[in-house]
Structure 1
Amino acid sequence: MSLASHLDELQKKHSEIERQIDTAMQHPSTDGLEIVDLKRRKLAIKDMIEKLREGTASD
């Protein structure tokens, strides 16, 4: 998998998790821990994206 396609895939996952968070927050019955878990996953993906971008910028 090329770096560009890997970044694209990570960005898609990041957007999907963001959508899931928005949907979960609209439902009062959603477990708070589920939202926290989604936010952690979103942040982890964001960190991966940043590391990959930093790695290509230093080349």
Structure 2
Amino acid sequence: MSLASHLAELKRKHGDIEREIDEASNHPSYDALEIAQLKRRKLALKDEIEKLRSPTRH
């Protein structure tokens, strides 16, 4: 998988999780812990995207 396609996939997943968080926030049946876990996953994806974008990859 090329770097560009990997980044595109990560961005897609990030957007999917963002939409899931928005939907969960609008439903009282969702647990706050579940929303927190989604936010952690979203942040981990963002960190990975930023790491891949940085000129000095680690």
TM-score category of the 2 structures, normalised to the smaller one: over 0.9
Superposition RMSD on alpha carbons, in Å?
1.2
Q: Which residue of 1 aligns with 2:42?
A: 42
TM-score by length of 1: 0.92
SS state at 2:36 partner:
helix
Q: Which runs of 5+ in 1 are unaligned?
A: none
Shift of 1:30: 0.6
SS state at 2:23 partner:
helix
SS state at 1:14 partner:
helix
Identical columns (%)? 67
Superposed structure 1 runs of 4+ greater than 3 Å apart: none
Q: Which runs of 5+ in 2 are unaligned?
A: none
Partner deviation per Cα, 1:4-54 (whole Å, 9 max, x = no partner): 000000000000000000000000111000000000000000000000000
Q: Distance in 1 between matches of 2:23 and 2:2?
A: 32
1:48-59 matches, cutoff 5 A: 48-54=48-54, 57-58=55-56
The alignment of Structure 1 onto Structure 2 pairs a total of residues equal to 57
Structure with the higher helix share, 1 or 2:
1
TM-score by length of 2: 0.93
